[in-house]
Structure 1
Amino acid sequence: MTDQPSPLANFENSLAFAKTLDKHDPLADMRNQFHIPQHQGKDEIYFCGNSLGLQPKRTAEYLNYELSQWQKLGVKGHFSGDFPWMPYHEFLTEGFSELVGAVPSEVVAMNSLTANLHFMMVSFYRPDQKRNKILIEDHAFPSDHYAVESQIKFHGFDPKESMLLVKPRNGEHVLRTEDIIATIEAHADELALILLPGVQYYTGQVLDMAAITAAGHKAGCKVGFDLAHACGNVPMQLHQWGVDFACWCTYKYLNSGAGSVAGCFVHERHHTDKTIPRFAGWWGHNKETRFKMDNQFDPIESVEAWQLSNPPILSLAAIRASLDTIKSAGGIDALHQKSLRLTGYLRYLLNDQLKDDVDILTPEEPGAHGCQLSLAVNTHGLDGKMVFNRIEEAGVTGDWRYPNVIRVAPVPLYNRYEDCYRFVQILKQSLQQEGDASEQ
């Protein structure tokens, strides 16, 4: 074992090696910028950033500042202080644009994720008798499935006919890009919209958003992405790829707290098209004339035109704290480089210790995964949920998805290589315990 392992160094299955990786990790100090949950007086192994990220220590400072402004200034806080509330969402623009690869006018913080998906479909799902199908994945996150199904019904079509599902091949777990594109081409004359995830929530697969967007536009339809599991996890170039719209939440890899305000992207080519239908509100009106109150809607020539109301400032303050924390780490590219190595080490340990007991559903190619690994317990006779319960009792927080998948996500902002090593030891013990129990 060398003192300073290079990014291409061979991994070793030992606690000493994991600690050496942590010692020479340039982002190791970022962990100290987060509150780590405790288990029996020690730091928990928190592998659930794919569901809810941990709280940055600066979050309380940012929120307390806004509470103080409200306390001292009342309504004048809209226009006073270092971060006045009237333009507060603009303080998040730079951070959002860097995370998703957008120009500043294309990103905004507003609403919640599924609400934003609905608002985007109001504008970009315009079905007719010929083109009325929406392409989604067969195992879509339920909220996305419900949103698409309800939009189809709203327009008077039958989801059984107008919802087009793409699924993995028999015996496989993840989607093949060539199959997605083949489906698009086969239904080119019928497709009105493609709505797929950037990262598939169940398997952790990163989809080829550039290729899907190109294929969708060639077929003559609009293309949008749900980036709930992608934003803050993997680098993206939405503007360059020509994506029509995208939406994301901010409480997973963006660590801004449960139920926090979501983000939205609309490509700049749509900003000046006033023929695009939208559900309008006064926060989307031209800022220069918003307070004339003449009831003549004049949309802002940016994604801000899709805003409805002024957003909750305390939630935006938490997002700003998270974006500043990410910036202090060097941004998404620096985080992704560590993520590939961190998750790569976890995969190595799992394959070395538990290859016969656990199937890793998440693709191995660097461009096809982010932080998350989805683990299926495949040992005959074992109850995967019981295994999950055992690792929780031992101080691991991950999450469980039916029928038999444990999702774990070592997040580069606050997780360590040591976490990966200790997790695999706990999982191994839990599998052995469950195996012993099943034999009795």
Structure 2
Amino acid sequence: MANFEPTLEYAQGQDDIDILFSFRERFHIPQHEGQDCIYLCGNSLGLQPKSTAYLFEKELADWAKWGVEGHFNAERPWFSYHQQFSPSLARIVGAQKEEVVAMNTLTVNLHLLLLSFYKPSGSRYKIIMEAGAFPSDQYAIETQVRMYGHNPDDAIIELSPREGEHCLRDEDILQAIEEAGESVACVMMGAVNYYTGQYYDLKSITEAAHRIGAIAGFDLAHAMGNIPLQLHDWKVDFACWCSYKYLNSGPGGVGGIFVHEKHGNNPEVFRLAGWWGNDESTRFKMKKGFIPAKGAASWQMSNAPVFNMVGHRASLDIFDKTNMRDLRAKSKRMTAYLEFLLQQLNHLSFTIITPSEPERRGAQLSLLFHDKGREAFDALTNQGVIADWREPNVIRVAPVPLYNSFEDVYRFYEVLKTLAV
């Protein structure tokens, strides 16, 4: 951080040499009093690509022109609409294209995957997850263990930070998995904790789970499009994600899943059957007897929600013009600059609870206010800063490399300097 400077000139200079800066022009930036907001909330909802409206119009035109025949005659036929996303998603998560598919929404997908991969049997029935996971994950896992007749207080092992610490230590996670041993059926964690912004070591967690004979799965809601992943090489069993945060695909945008080929290409692996998960070559024979398609696509239930996928296409078109390596490099530097600037502030009482090591975090810093946090958040909002408030006292700030600038980061710091709360 020694070469950072707390000046507007320095921030603008960094933008001048940023190879990704032009991507900002591809997004709509919300306005405040006639100027661009300081939008630092892409970890909650990504901005709208400017191409989204154009692509919606094209699909509407095809619907008007073709009616039902659009399933095969549209410019991007609806019958196979979901297939266009797999190459892009595979690059983002480090997978083979048959191992990923865009479908449903996050928690629906998590339930479908748990029905396939959480198979409690005898003394092996427990699930390991992080304490303080996003509520949807907590609810999903609680109801899954109840479905098999287990008490969540017994069947769910929640991993908490040490006394006085905010984040889990890697060695504590691995030790907990080892100690739980053969009682564990599944390790299912968020890849990045939504509250603290901590990124977990997915490779080591997966290896530890496999050593004790358990399945390893992850919720990638805050990792997808944020951190480079290698799910196939790490031998992760399954993963799911939403697309409306760092993937910028619109509120409630289509989710997606990863299923490792060793499971996806094994027809004996149980999955709930739906028409669109059936083998494409026999789908329209309309006969009894589910024949799973190859790979993750066999977990699909219904045909693609085309209009819910248009924003996904607009965003992934942008991702296809860059790569996760360059995005991650900018993200690390921009987040480090944000951390540097925050450390210059002495008049506000807060602690950065996100790990300071770049490899243990993504594009988010979480500021735990010791007092008057809500007042600080409201004051930021009134001055055109869009960040995210999480009870009881955390402001989450996420400079996203696709559309945020170093100047955004500096101006956020500039506003914070003026606060008198």
Q: What residue is the counterpart of 1:29 in the other structure?
A: 22
Q: What is the deviation of 1:247? A: 0.2
Matches of 1:376 and 1:85, distance apart in 2: 46
Q: What residue is the counterpart of 1:387 in the other structure?
A: 376
Q: What residue is the counterpart of 1:279 in the other structure?
A: 272
The normalised TM-score by structure 2 is 0.98
Matches of 2:390 and 2:159, distance apart in 1: 20
Q: What residue is the counterpart of 1:15 in the other structure?
A: 8
Matches of 2:85 and 2:280, distance apart in 1: 18
Q: Aligned to 2:72, which of 76, 79, 90?
A: 79
5+ residue gaps, structure 1, are 1-7, 435-440
Q: What residue is the counterpart of 2:329 in the other structure?
A: 337
Matches of 1:9 and 1:162, distance apart in 2: 48
- CA gap of 1:354–1:68, structure 2 versus 1, over 3 A, is farther
Does 1:346 find its partner at 2:338?
Answer: yes
Q: What residue is the counterpart of 1:124 in the other structure?
A: 117
Q: What is the deviation of 1:356? A: 6.6
Q: Aligned to 2:81, which of 74, 81, 88?
A: 88
Post-superposition CA distance 1:54-87 (Å, at most 9, x none): 0001111111111110011101111013311100
Classify the secondary structure of the residue corresponding to 1:20.
helix
Does 1:315 find its partner at 2:304?
Answer: no
Matches of 2:241 and 2:346, distance apart in 1: 34
Q: What residue is the counterpart of 1:242 in the other structure?
A: 235
CA RMSD of aligned residues (A): 1.2
Post-superposition CA distance 1:329-369 (Å, at most 9, x none): x1211111111111111111001224873211111212111
Matches of 2:380 and 2:261, distance apart in 1: 47
Checking the alignment, whether the CA contact within 8 Å between 2:62 and 2:75 is kept in structure 1 is no
The amino acid of 1:420's aligned partner reads V
Matches of 2:300 and 2:369, distance apart in 1: 44
Q: What is the deviation of 1:274? A: 2.5
Checking the alignment, whether the CA contact within 8 Å between 2:78 and 2:304 is kept in structure 1 is no
The normalised TM-score by structure 1 is 0.94
Classify the secondary structure of the residue corresponding to 2:182.
coil
Checking the alignment, whether the CA contact within 8 Å between 1:373 and 1:407 is kept in structure 2 is yes
Q: What is the deviation of 1:275? A: 2.4
Does 1:184 find its partner at 2:177?
Answer: yes
The percent identity for this pair of structures is: 49
The amino acid of 1:322's aligned partner reads S
Moved over 4 A (4+): none
Checking the alignment, whether the CA contact within 8 Å between 1:354 and 1:428 is kept in structure 2 is no
Q: What residue is the counterpart of 1:292 in the other structure?
A: 285
Q: Aligned to 2:166, which of 151, 168, 173?
A: 173
Q: What residue is the counterpart of 1:45 in the other structure?
A: 38
The amino acid of 1:34's aligned partner reads F
5+ residue gaps, structure 2, are none
Q: What is the deviation of 1:320? A: 1.1
Q: Aligned to 2:394, which of 398, 405, 415?
A: 405
Checking the alignment, whether the CA contact within 8 Å between 2:71 and 2:79 is kept in structure 1 is yes
Post-superposition CA distance 1:20-76 (Å, at most 9, x none): 111111111111100000001110000000000000011111111111100111011
Checking the alignment, whether the CA contact within 8 Å between 2:62 and 2:70 is kept in structure 1 is yes
Classify the secondary structure of the residue corresponding to 1:187.
helix
Matches of 1:42 and 1:273, distance apart in 2: 54
